[in-house]
Structure 1
Amino acid sequence: MELSYGETPAVRSADISLFRGEVAAITGQSGSGKSSLLYCLAGVLPAARGEVRFEGRLLGELDDEALSTLRRERFGFVFQYGELLPELTVEENTALPLRLAGHRKAPALAAAGEVLERLGLANLRDRRPSQVSGGQSQRVAVARALVHKPAVVFADEPTGSLDSANATAVLDEFLALARSQGTAVLLVTHDDQVAARADNRYTMCDGVLTAQVWEGA
């Protein structure tokens, strides 16, 4: 697979497969192409060469509407800074993927409440993002990514903005919940301790992805 921004190559060579319930980590220096690869695999950026398949379908053959539906209903996303909507409560932020997929408000909020309970956040459900800590905000982002039981969660530096104690706690909860519901996780990180928790590990350097022999958690 290859991906370029104009004349500038971001991904020059990448071959990766991800299976149900698997956690894979991509490490590398800033600018190595790892985030570009993640967004290409998620159907956000189009591959210049090669192909991305999900459940047998070629993402490059889907139109914008089909891609949007796929990302909304089958994928989840966790970003470095949570990216919660400030006007919504914790519970409403968590329920957002279900609401966008057409679920009615009451069952969507009920499902959100269950995930928040599992992550120890039930007492925060009525607060706004500005009223919770950074670690709590990232837990909410994890809840939002997993509430609709997606096939894959794409996580771009999911603990990069947290101190070590919060990073460990958030990662523990994230991976435990994902594995319990059979959701695959592809995470990009610069932190070797985070990558060590994965089942499979890859390194990105100058746009080239290399698999490592690794015994994950």
Structure 2
Amino acid sequence: MNTSEVLSAKAVDLFYGETPAVLNADISLGRGDIVAITGQSGSGKSSLLYCLAGVLPAARGEICFEGRSFSSLNDEELSAIRRERFGFVFQYGELLPELTVEENAALPLRLAGQRKSEALTAAGEVLGRLGLAELRQRRPSQVSGGQSQRVAVARALVHRPAIVFADEPTGSLDSGNAAAVLDEFLSLARSQGTAVVLVTHDTQVAARADHRYIMCDGVLTAQVREAS
């Protein structure tokens, strides 16, 4: 694990109107780190994730990616980082129904301007590593929930991003599928040196991370592990 810092947040606040969602949050992420943020529903963990990803603007504090503060970037520059350097996995996959599995997985490469044939080849390689090679031409409606989530993982990692932001990526799956998808997701991310920010309410999922944080009422606390 490379500990050089890729993302950091210092004293970050986020409000919805006058209601605080995140209060004075500090967090840092090294290259290849797996970081879990756990907490009850409504604790603010997803809000913090979308702040860290540059989707929600922080009211106060500073978030830096590879040494560049989000506040120094214009909308176009920040969008380019989200598109080219970040990946996303959502609870329900959010695949585009009109595209095939292969086309869904290739989408980040196509958005970055890569030729279709090259993007599909790269997507096929990642899908193969996730056991989905035979499903490449199917539509999302023709695959199972676990398979759909694997496609979402492939899409998040196909362009070898610096960070993947995963919001309850196994929350919609049964325990067997959840464990399998998480294994494949983290294994592939580690093999690529991609860092992961993983939001989950499941302490067993959080236990798979290198570093764990607990969020309660918008307040983020680092969890110190006992030496084994």
Give the TM-score normalised by the residue count of structure 1. 0.98
In structure 2, distance between residues paired with 1:74 and 1:215: 33
1:127 aligned residue = 138
In structure 2, distance between residues paired with 1:130 and 1:179: 30
Residue 45 of structure 2 aligns with an amino acid whose one-letter code is K
1:105 aligned residue = 116
CA contact (8 A) 1:199 1:214 kept: no
1:136 aligned residue = 147
Bigger share in strand: 2
Structure 1 residue 213: deviation in Å?
1.1
1:160 aligned residue = 171
1:117 aligned residue = 128
CA contact (8 A) 2:24 2:61 kept: no
Correspondence 1:23 to 2:47: no
Greater relative contact order: 1 or 2 (C-alpha under 8 angstroms, separation 6 or more)?
Answer: 1
In structure 2, distance between residues paired with 1:15 and 1:36: 14
CA contact (8 A) 1:27 1:189 kept: yes
Number of equivalences = 216
Residue 61 of structure 2 aligns with an amino acid whose one-letter code is G
In structure 1, distance between residues paired with 2:226 and 2:89: 24
Gaps of 5+ in 1: none
How big is each residue's C-alpha offset from its partner over 1:70-112, in whole Å with a ceiling of 9 and x where there is no partner?
Answer: 0000000000000000000000000000000110101000000
2:4 aligned residue = none
Structure 1 residue 214: deviation in Å?
2.5
Map residues 23-172 of structure 1 onto 2, 5 A cutoff: 23-172=34-183
In structure 2, distance between residues paired with 1:215 and 1:148: 36
Give the TM-score normalised by the residue count of structure 2. 0.93
Inter-CA distance 163–178: structure 2 relative to 1 (3 Å threshold): same
2:215 aligned residue = 204
1:173 aligned residue = 184
Q: Runs (4+) of structure 1 moved beyond 3 Å? A: none
In structure 2, distance between residues paired with 1:215 and 1:81: 34
Root mean square deviation of aligned Cα: 1.0
Inter-CA distance 215–201: structure 2 relative to 1 (3 Å threshold): farther
How big is each residue's C-alpha offset from its partner over 1:173-213, in whole Å with a ceiling of 9 and x where there is no partner?
Answer: 00000000000000000001100100000000010000001
- How much identity, in percent, do the aligned residues show? 82
